[in-house]
Protein backbone atom coordinates (compact mmCIF):
# COMPACT_ATOMS: atom_id res chain seq x y z
CA UNK A 1 0.00 0.00 0.00
CA UNK A 2 1.35 3.39 -0.99
CA UNK A 3 0.60 6.80 0.45
CA UNK A 4 -1.64 9.08 -1.60
CA UNK A 5 -0.27 12.39 -2.81
CA UNK A 6 -2.16 14.69 -5.13
CA UNK A 7 -0.85 18.13 -5.99
CA UNK A 8 -3.03 21.21 -5.78
CA UNK A 9 -4.73 22.32 -8.97
CA UNK A 10 -6.49 25.57 -9.81
CA UNK A 11 -9.78 24.22 -8.47
CA UNK A 12 -8.69 21.12 -6.57
CA UNK A 13 -7.00 20.65 -3.20
CA UNK A 14 -3.68 19.09 -2.40
CA UNK A 15 -3.77 15.78 -0.58
CA UNK A 16 -1.05 14.06 1.35
CA UNK A 17 -2.31 10.86 2.98
CA UNK A 18 0.86 9.42 4.52
CA UNK A 19 0.34 5.84 5.68
CA UNK A 20 3.67 5.69 7.51
CA UNK A 21 3.07 8.67 9.79
CA UNK A 22 -0.75 8.31 9.68
CA UNK A 23 -0.96 12.06 9.07
CA UNK A 24 -3.45 12.97 6.37
CA UNK A 25 -3.72 16.50 4.94
CA UNK A 26 -6.34 17.97 2.63
CA UNK A 27 -5.71 21.64 1.83
CA UNK A 28 -6.80 24.41 -0.48
CA UNK A 29 -10.01 24.95 -2.41
CA UNK A 30 -12.29 22.25 -3.73
CA UNK A 31 -14.51 23.30 -6.58
CA UNK A 32 -13.64 20.88 -9.36
CA UNK A 33 -15.36 21.12 -12.70
CA UNK A 34 -15.95 17.36 -12.66
CA UNK A 35 -16.34 16.27 -9.05
CA UNK A 36 -16.49 12.56 -9.90
CA UNK A 37 -13.17 12.69 -11.78
CA UNK A 38 -11.62 14.52 -8.83
CA UNK A 39 -12.88 12.28 -6.03
CA UNK A 40 -13.13 8.83 -7.60
CA UNK A 41 -9.41 8.00 -7.14
CA UNK A 42 -9.50 9.35 -3.58
CA UNK A 43 -12.53 7.24 -2.61
CA UNK A 44 -11.00 4.15 -4.24
CA UNK A 45 -7.74 4.74 -2.37
CA UNK A 46 -9.65 5.16 0.92
CA UNK A 47 -11.48 1.87 0.30
CA UNK A 48 -8.15 0.11 -0.31
CA UNK A 49 -6.62 1.74 2.75
CA UNK A 50 -9.47 0.55 4.99
CA UNK A 51 -9.02 -3.01 3.68
CA UNK A 52 -5.24 -2.78 4.11
CA UNK A 53 -5.62 -1.63 7.72
CA UNK A 54 -8.00 -4.50 8.49
CA UNK A 55 -5.43 -7.01 7.24
CA UNK A 56 -2.62 -5.26 9.07
CA UNK A 57 -4.45 -5.44 12.41
CA UNK A 58 -2.47 -2.66 13.99
CA UNK A 59 -3.47 -0.03 16.47
CA UNK A 60 -2.43 3.56 16.35
CA UNK A 61 -3.68 7.05 15.72
CA UNK A 62 -4.64 8.71 12.47
CA UNK A 63 -4.73 12.49 12.29
CA UNK A 64 -6.79 13.97 9.48
CA UNK A 65 -5.99 17.66 8.88
CA UNK A 66 -8.82 19.30 6.97
CA UNK A 67 -7.69 22.72 5.74
CA UNK A 68 -10.09 23.47 2.93
CA UNK A 69 -10.74 27.17 2.63
CA UNK A 70 -13.76 26.46 0.47
CA UNK A 71 -15.59 23.50 -1.02
CA UNK A 72 -18.65 23.55 -3.22
CA UNK A 73 -21.88 21.67 -2.61
CA UNK A 74 -21.09 18.99 -5.19
CA UNK A 75 -17.86 18.18 -3.30
CA UNK A 76 -19.64 17.95 0.07
CA UNK A 77 -21.02 14.45 -0.59
CA UNK A 78 -17.59 13.10 -1.44
CA UNK A 79 -15.99 14.80 1.54
CA UNK A 80 -18.67 13.19 3.70
CA UNK A 81 -17.75 9.81 2.19
CA UNK A 82 -14.12 10.35 3.18
CA UNK A 83 -15.23 11.05 6.75
CA UNK A 84 -17.41 7.92 6.69
CA UNK A 85 -14.31 5.92 5.82
CA UNK A 86 -12.52 7.54 8.77
CA UNK A 87 -15.38 6.32 10.95
CA UNK A 88 -14.85 2.77 9.63
CA UNK A 89 -11.15 3.08 10.42
CA UNK A 90 -12.04 4.17 13.95
CA UNK A 91 -14.40 1.23 14.38
CA UNK A 92 -11.44 -1.04 13.55
CA UNK A 93 -9.49 0.12 16.60
CA UNK A 94 -7.55 3.09 15.22
CA UNK A 95 -7.88 6.37 17.11
CA UNK A 96 -9.02 9.02 14.60
CA UNK A 97 -8.67 12.75 15.22
CA UNK A 98 -9.98 15.29 12.76
CA UNK A 99 -8.36 18.71 12.89
CA UNK A 100 -10.81 21.08 11.22
CA UNK A 101 -9.17 24.37 10.31
CA UNK A 102 -11.36 27.36 9.51
CA UNK A 103 -10.93 31.10 9.33
CA UNK A 104 -12.18 32.84 12.44
CA UNK A 105 -14.90 34.75 10.59
CA UNK A 106 -16.03 31.79 8.48
CA UNK A 107 -18.91 30.53 10.59
CA UNK A 108 -20.33 28.50 7.70
CA UNK A 109 -17.23 26.32 7.46
CA UNK A 110 -17.17 25.88 11.24
CA UNK A 111 -20.84 24.83 11.25
CA UNK A 112 -20.21 22.32 8.46
CA UNK A 113 -17.49 20.69 10.54
CA UNK A 114 -19.70 20.64 13.62
CA UNK A 115 -22.45 18.97 11.59
CA UNK A 116 -20.06 16.29 10.29
CA UNK A 117 -18.86 15.65 13.84
CA UNK A 118 -22.42 15.30 15.11
CA UNK A 119 -23.58 13.00 12.31
CA UNK A 120 -20.52 10.74 12.28
CA UNK A 121 -19.49 10.65 15.92
CA UNK A 122 -15.85 11.36 15.10
CA UNK A 123 -13.79 13.60 17.37
CA UNK A 124 -13.18 16.94 15.67
CA UNK A 125 -10.77 19.55 16.96
CA UNK A 126 -11.75 22.97 15.66
CA UNK A 127 -8.84 25.31 15.05
CA UNK A 128 -9.52 28.93 14.15
CA UNK A 129 -7.08 30.67 11.83
CA UNK A 130 -6.57 34.42 11.58
CA UNK A 131 -7.22 35.96 8.15
Q: What is the pLDDT of residue 55?
A: 82
- List 18's β-bridge partners, or say none: 23
Handedness of CA 72, 70, 100, 85 (dihedral sign): positive
Task: Report the chain (131 residues): mean pLDDT per 10 consecutive residues.
Answer: 95 96 96 94 96 81 95 94 95 94 94 95 94 74
Alpha carbons 63 and 80: distance in angstroms, whole number: 16
Task: Give the model's pLDDT for residue 131.
Answer: 74
**pLDDT confidence of residue 56:** 79
The domain defined by 4-129 folds into: Transcription Regulator spoIIAA (3.30.750)
Helix (H) or strand (E) holding 94: strand 94-103
| Domain ranges within the chain, ordered by starting residue | 4-129
φ/ψ of 15, rounded to 5, equals -130, 140
Task: Give the C-alpha distances (Å, rounded to integers) separating 69 from 27, 29, 41, 84, 109.
Answer: 8, 6, 22, 21, 8
Give the bridge partners for 64, in sequence order. Answer: 24, 98
Amino acid sequence: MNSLRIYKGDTTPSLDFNIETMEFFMEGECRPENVLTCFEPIIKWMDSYVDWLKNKKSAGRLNFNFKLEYYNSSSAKFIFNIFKQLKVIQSNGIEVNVFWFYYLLDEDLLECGQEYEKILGLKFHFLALQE
